[in-house]
Amino acid sequence: MDYIPDRLRAGEQPADALEGEYGADADAPVWPVEPGRYRLVAAKACPWANRSIIVRSLLGLEDVISLGLPGPTHDERSWTFDLDPGGVDPVLGIERLQEAFLNRDPDYAKGITVPAIVEVETKQVVTNDFPWITHDFFFEWRDHHRPDAPDLWPDECREEMEAVMKRVFTEVNNGVYRCGFAGSQEAYESAYERLFAALDWLEERLTDRRYLMGESITEADVRLFTTLARFDPVYHGHFKCNRNKLSEMPALWGYARDLFQTPGFGESIDFEQIKAHYYVVHTDINPTGIVPLGPDTAGWLTPHGRG
């Protein structure tokens, strides 16, 4: 996904989503659940794409759905595969993700966003509907999960989890962008107050429970983690979310480190790519393109004490 202010919305479906359904009985374009058929294209720099990388790993889908990694920066046209030899994705054989969107719809003129699921043979996008990508990884690809995969959508707390995720999305995931792209002092101050009210709520919630929904990791934790991982390196300074750092909120900082040190989470985070993405791409906020050297990220590996 890409972060621009017109993405700020109450629901999670992006305005430029291409839709597709898995299974044999669907009205929309139908895509079989078939190992090796698809490639997840997801930049580590992007928080929305970062979710899909984490969920793919947690569920053990690495050998079922391959992973393509665009570089951290892009132009107005598309995410590009500049991390790969020759700037070409080694499986899809394309230089720009835009090519896969145009293979699906030659007249497609909306945003080229990650994450995106691409069918390898036809090189066309199946969907870039980011909340449904991780939802489908859990529900539609269940037969291919590793035996000890976590229950990311537990039935017993589904209704409460949906409410928590909605508040996290609206006030935190999008809240940092609302601060960063505010067009007036009044809009910024309102966004700032909303963001930190939500972070204070999360700090209190996580004081007496290990994860957002209790003792087990769920999709809600994945969705919050990707914003927390970017908070001190990017959002605190670049987006002016500077009441305090994440590392100054004891419960949230311990929780974030707990997740970071859990297999599937920390290895999906590349702080240098994250900083390059925000500080280079957002020329309206950072016209010099200078990327900060800090902060020191060694603290992420310190004991979290939440076990």
What are the structural domains of the chain? 5-144 (3.40.30.10), 155-301 (1.20.1050.10)
- Percentage of the chain modeled with pLDDT above 70: 91
* Averaged pLDDT, 192-213: 98
Please report which confidence band the pLDDT of residue 4 belongs to, taking 50, 70 and 90 as the band edges.
very low
Q: How far apart are CA 14 and CA 17, in angstroms?
A: 5
* Residues annotated within a binding site for glutathione: 79
Q: How far apart are CA 189 and CA 195, in angstroms?
A: 10
Under 8 Å between Cβ of 39 and 118: yes
Residue 303 CB neighbour total at 10 angstroms: 10
What's the pLDDT score for residue 1? 52
Q: What is the pLDDT of residues 16-70, one digit of tens each?
A: 666 665 554 445 567 899 999 999 999 999 999 999 999 999 999 999 999 999 9
* Averaged pLDDT, 95-109: 95
Report the mean per-residue pLDDT for the chain. 92
What's the pLDDT score for residue 219? 98
What's the pLDDT score for residue 76? 79
Please report which confidence band the pLDDT of residue 186 belongs to, taking 50, 70 and 90 as the band edges.
very high
Under 8 Å between Cβ of 213 and 160: yes
Which are the catalytic amino acids? 46, 177
Burial-class residue 203 by CB neighbours within 10 Å (0-12, 13-18, 19+).
middle
Listed residue (248, 192, 22) closest to 117, CA to CA: 22
Q: How far apart are CA 39 and CA 53, in angstroms?
A: 12
Residue 12 CB neighbour total at 10 angstroms: 19
Assigned token pair, 37: 């058929």
What's the pLDDT score for residue 31? 87
Assigned token pair, 12: 């999670």
What's the pLDDT score for residue 26? 46
What's the pLDDT score for residue 132? 94
* Averaged pLDDT, 83-109: 96
Assigned token pair, 285: 């906020």
Contacts of residue 106, defined as CB under 8 A and 6 or more positions apart, other chains included, come to: none
Q: How far apart are CA 138 and CA 254, in angstroms?
A: 27
The DSSP 8-state label assigned to residue 25 in this structure reads: S
Q: Would you say residue 13 has pLDDT above 70?
A: no
Residue 209, phi then psi, degrees to nearest 5: -145, 150
* Averaged pLDDT, 263-268: 98
Please report which confidence band the pLDDT of residue 115 belongs to, taking 50, 70 and 90 as the band edges.
very high
Strand partners, 39: 66, 118
Listed residue (153, 177, 151) closest to 164, CA to CA: 153
Q: Would you say residue 177 has pLDDT above 70?
A: yes
Under 8 Å between Cβ of 258 and 210: yes
- What is the torsion angle, in degrees rounded to the nearest 10, for the CA atoms of residue 39, residue 6, residue 246 and residue 281? 70
Using alpha carbons, list the distances in angstroms from residue 194 to 9, 52, 144, 164, 197. Answer: 15, 27, 40, 15, 5
Q: Based on C-alpha coordinates, what's the Rg of the chain?
A: 19
Q: Would you say residue 121 has pLDDT above 50?
A: yes
Q: How far apart are CA 207 and CA 158, in angstroms?
A: 21
